[in-house]
């Protein structure tokens, strides 16, 4: 991984196009690293969101993307994939005039598409973060299009590192797998929590008891996975006594094709990412 850049590199203006939750988490991280609010410009058409960002962070807010990018050399696209082409095409003149560094967190939209929509010759980094970034516990895969200089890579990594871990991907096509694994991954854990709570209630536990036990179990297991140097398979073996209760539960999972279901789910999410790219071209 590239080392985080010095805070004084954040003195250059940065424009965020879109002011939703992910932009909010990145802006908060940027400020914690030494960025100054007056150099952060955010374009957000929804007035309440725009006003909340100004109130909470003191940034410069705009209703239109063209105003936000006027003085910025780095643009962060934090809009839904379905509208990214429209946003890019509205900025093509400015993009060709200043050739900014573009950081995109739009799932499924390739760097080639973004480059084409901005008129060509643009330095682009694609990023796939996930929602735990809002708590500083995220995971993000990054891909830099050829031509992005080390400073641009360092800036993008520092921006995302404040929200969690970062991993560079060498092949852009692998970002669809990143999206399927870690981008969508929190929802898989939430589904597991739902199922565990429901099962606990079915077995006779009061709802609040089932909820507290299930959530703390997932939290604790997650900490063991991330804070231990032991891999997942070995941790599983250590808590599974032969012919015990855990073994009985795991045997049920295996009989139901648990591993195959997880594999198919992640494959389906990856395929959907490819379809999103084609649908928005």
From first to last of its 281 residues, the chain has per-residue pLDDT tens of 334 444 445 568 999 999 998 898 889 888 887 889 999 999 999 999 999 999 999 999 999 999 999 999 999 999 998 899 999 999 999 999 999 999 999 888 999 999 999 999 999 999 999 989 888 899 999 999 999 999 999 999 988 988 899 999 999 999 999 999 999 999 999 999 999 999 999 999 999 999 999 999 999 999 999 999 999 999 999 999 999 999 999 999 999 999 999 999 999 999 988 887 777 77
Last residue of a domain, one of 148, 175, 202: 175
Do 202 and 225 fall into the same domain?
Answer: yes
What is the number of structural domains in the chain?
Answer: 2
Whether 195 and 259 share a structural domain: yes
DSSP code, position 91: T
| Residue 139 counted as domain residue | yes
CATH number at residue 247: 1.10.3730.10
Rounded CA-CA distance 143/186 in Å is 21
Contact 62, 41 (CB under 8 A): yes
Is 191 found in the same domain as 112?
Answer: no
Check: CB of residue 164 under 8 Å from CB of residue 136.
Answer: yes
- Domain assignment present for residue 48? The answer is yes
Residue 38: which of 17, 12, 63 has the closest Cα?
12
Task: Return the structure tokens found at 41.
Answer: 């410009």
Residue 94 lies in a domain: yes
**CATH classification at residue 80:** 3.40.50.720
Same domain, yes or no: 77 and 160: yes
- Per the CB < 8 A criterion, the answer to whether 93 and 64 are in contact is no
The answer on 136 and 66 residing in a single domain is: yes
∠ CA 88-94-96, rounded to 5°:
90
Among residues 175, 201, 231, which one ends one of the domains?
175
Query: What helix, strand, coil percent values describe the chain, rounded to 5?
Result: 60, 15, 25
State whether 165 and 202 are in the same domain: no
Gyration radius from the chain CA atoms: 21
- For 105, the domain range is 7-175
Do 169 and 192 belong to one domain? no
Q: Is residue 22 part of a domain?
A: yes
Reported as type and span, the H/E element at residue 270 is helix 258-279
162 and 191 part of one domain: no
């Amino acid at each position: 991984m590239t080392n985080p850049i010095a805070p004084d590199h954040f003195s250059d203006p940065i424009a965020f196009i879109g002011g939703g939750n992910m932009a909010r988490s990145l802006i908060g991280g940027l400020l914690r690293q030494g960025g100054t609010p007056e150099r952060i410009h955010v374009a957000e058409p929804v007035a309440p969101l725009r006003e909340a960002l100004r109130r909470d962070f003191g940034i410069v807010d705009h209703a239109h993307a063209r105003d936000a990018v006027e003085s910025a050399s780095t643009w962060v696209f934090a809009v839904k994939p379905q509208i990214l082409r429209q946003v890019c095409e509205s900025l093509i003149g400015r993009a060709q005039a200043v050739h900014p560094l573009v950081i995109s967190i739009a799932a499924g939209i390739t760097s080639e598409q973004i480059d084409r929509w901005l008129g060509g010759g643009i330095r682009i980094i694609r990023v796939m973060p996930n929602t735990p970034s809002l708590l500083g516990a995220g995971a993000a895969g990054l891909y830099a299009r050829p031509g992005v200089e080390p400073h641009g890579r360092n800036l993008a990594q520092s921006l995302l590192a404040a929200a969690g871990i970062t991993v560079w991907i060498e092949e852009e096509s692998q970002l669809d797998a990143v999206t399927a694994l870690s981008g969508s991954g929190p929802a898989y854990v939430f589904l597991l929590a739902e199922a565990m709570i429901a099962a606990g209630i079915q077995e006779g536990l009061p709802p609040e008891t089932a909820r507290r036990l299930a959530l703390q179990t997932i939290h604790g297991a997650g900490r063991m996975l991330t804070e231990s140097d032991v891999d997942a398979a070995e941790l599983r073996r250590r808590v599974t006594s032969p012919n015990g209760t855990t073994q009985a539960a795991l045997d049920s999972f295996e009989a139901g094709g648990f591993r195959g279901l997880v594999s198919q789910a992640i494959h389906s999410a990856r395929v959907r990412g490819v379809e999103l790219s084609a649908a928005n071209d």
